[in-house]
Chain A
Amino acid sequence: MLRSLQIGTKSSRSVLNSIASQRSLHTVPKIETIDELKDTGLKGLYSAKGLESAWYSRAQSYVNNLNKESTDGVAGGSLEDIISTFYKEPIKRSLYENASLLYNTKFALECLAPINTFNSSEEVALPPKATVKDLLAGPVLNRNSAISNVPTNNNLKDWLVDSFGSIVEFKTLLLNSAMAIKGDGFAWLVVEKLVRRADVYETMFVLNTYNCGQPNSNASKYLDDLKLFHHTKEQENKLKDPEAKLAYEEEQKKKNKLEYSFQNTLIETVDEAKSIHHATKRQFVPILAIDASPKAYLHDYGVFGKKQYLERVWESIDWDKIAARLPQRSEKLQL
């Protein structure tokens, strides 16, 4: 595994060179649906200034950082390329962080559209700014009949209902999950991709990423590799001492003797259990993201307004766009 880590580094270096040859500076990415609303704001969700604060100034800072890093020409290429190349490069960390943040923020904004439930010529005003009293207000009950802006696409709707029970349960889970993020982060709807003979897309999940995290599981695999690398190094260090080596070998012998007649079915620690879980081959394909960072709502909703903000985000989700992102759903295996 130690070798594979090194190989990984080597291969990413070759990708790195190929990216370097492209040599392009980054600019704030264009989002057609949002850019045309730059002066008016996103109706019902952001004022013009709020949008500026939630996207343009933020994107600008990420872009600036990316360009700062790419003075040596390494960081051209698309955001996806940078993310998939540098997720295991601690030295080029800033590159990964900013690319990832830019990608996530863009992804979240691309899910949104102006609120359309009312007459389109009518202005949908932002809610009045919440105060500390709103923290003590009881919840408004979510009833299936009461929630608006539910997905219309049948494929998406069925898939959501199969994965979460009902649309209202999905909404509660997604918004609670986003609500609970305290610093920067995103709440995602993802489709699990199991790598078998053919790729299998069966179940949807809600998951969170924090700061510059990505919803796919590459990073956790990187951590597992790092852990193994650390473990091996520690073992090697230990074995340098001849006495410790003897004791270690003795222990191994004893262990092997024990394993001889029994299948090893015992999982010894929680860490082991976790790594077994990680080792399964699965990826997450992002479908929908909600930006839960204070940066996204502070300007228009204030410190207390995250709940209102998330409700408005739900109202603003463009389900047609979300449905278009879905992979082909696999037939469920009948047992």
Chain B
Amino acid sequence: MKFQTKALDVLETTSHFLKSGAVESTPAWYTVVGANPPFKNQIKVPTFNYQKVAKEQESFLDTDKESKAKKSTKRFQYNANTGFYKTRITKGNSVETDVYKPIKLKFLQDELRNLFYYQHPWELADGKILVEGNSVVDYEKLDWSSIIQLNKKLDGESVVQRTLYILKDNKKQVKQNPSIEKISLEKAYNQARFEYYQIKMAREAEVQVAQEEATFSGAVFKPSSIEVGFEKESQVLSKWKEDALAETKRIEALRSGNSAGPEAGESEGALDDVFDDIPEAQEESK
């Protein structure tokens, strides 16, 4: 299918209609769209990945032959014997393969976040508000010298930001005083994680104790979701029990009807009684 561009011409079409009188009043969006017209060029222009190439070219600067050879890539192959670089395009070394691919964005935050939620999958069940207010809190700009924030709910993101803060802070301290031990990423993450656990434990205790304390002082609550679930479950179980008993009775009655020859007529009547008692069983058997 051809790329559809008609919708992009909405401004021109409307202007035309207005001029000809087909549309009488200017629509509300008219001036706004006029000020910010839709982008019409849909063709993506590939960008050359300078970063990648520049990184590969770093090997040119090395004076050591061995490390030069080590850093050889498909594009820039260093021959230690001859001391020459091979830069000519040959098969399997085409320039287009990767230098025009978009740069892959890599952030430490993402990795930490993924790790945290991989280790604590149930933290994802903690509700999160997706609707943004009229301004957004930039987590990076908050002061993460403490994991507790007045502007930010305590969740996995707090652990990520706190880890970064610990690393950054440690770097600063080491710069001032080199005798201070350097903190590894793992250690920083663990520290943030354990701080998180501490607060979660305290809050969990608070939830339980507050409920208990309020109950002891005479508060009455609506049934919790667990209680509602329990109630529903026991309703189903009781009904099942009743039905099962009725069904058993019916089967027993049928069996005795089959085996007892002379009293067959009598037991048939009894069977009808049973059926009268259990409308549902009757329906099902039909």
Contact = CB atoms under 8 A, between A and B. Distances in A.
Contacts of B217: 183, 210-211
Interface in B206-240: 206, 208-210, 212-213, 216-217, 227, 230-231, 234, 237-238
Contacts of B210: 180, 182
Nearest to A182: B213
Main SS at interface, chain B = helix
B195 interface: yes
Given A172-B201, A179-B202, A210-B217, A266 B148 contact: no
Contact of B199 (A139, A142, A173, A177): A139
B192 to A, nearest CB: 9
Contacts of A185: 213
Nearest to A138: B146
Number of chain B interface residues as a range? 20 to 34
A268 interface: yes
Contact of A181 (B147, B213, B238): B213
B245 interface: yes
Contacts of A180: 202, 205-206, 208-210
Contacts of B194: 141
Interface string A253-268: 0000010011000111
A40 B148 CA distance: 37
Interface string A264-287: 001111100000000000000000
B16 interface: no
Interface string A164-186: 00000000110011011111010
A335 interface: no
A185 B201 CA distance: 20
Interface string A224-266: 0000000000000000000000000000000000100110001
A139 B242 CA distance: 55
B125 interface: no
Interface string A209-223: 011010000000000
A185 B202 CA distance: 17
Contacts of B191: 141
B136 to A, nearest CB: 21
Number of chain A interface residues as a range? 20 to 34
Contacts of B182: none
A141 B191 CA distance: 8
- Residue of B147, B213, B237 ringed by the most chain A CB atoms within 10 A: B213
Contacts of B227: 270
B198 interface: yes
Contact of B205 (A138, A179, A183, A270): A179
Contacts of B199: 139
A267 B234 CA distance: 8
A105 interface: no
Given A179-B202, A182-B210, 19 more contacts: A136-B148, A137-B148, A138-B145, A138-B147, A139-B147, A176-B205, A176-B206, A179-B205, A180-B202, A182-B213, A208-B212, A208-B213, A210-B212, A210-B217, A258-B245, A266-B238, A268-B238, A269-B234, A270-B227
25 contacts: A137-B146, A138-B148, A138-B195, A176-B205, A177-B205, A179-B205, A180-B202, A180-B209, A182-B210, A182-B213, A183-B213, A208-B212, A210-B213, A261-B245, A261-B248, A262-B241, A262-B245, A266-B234, A267-B234, A268-B234, A268-B238, A269-B231, A269-B234, A270-B227, A270-B230
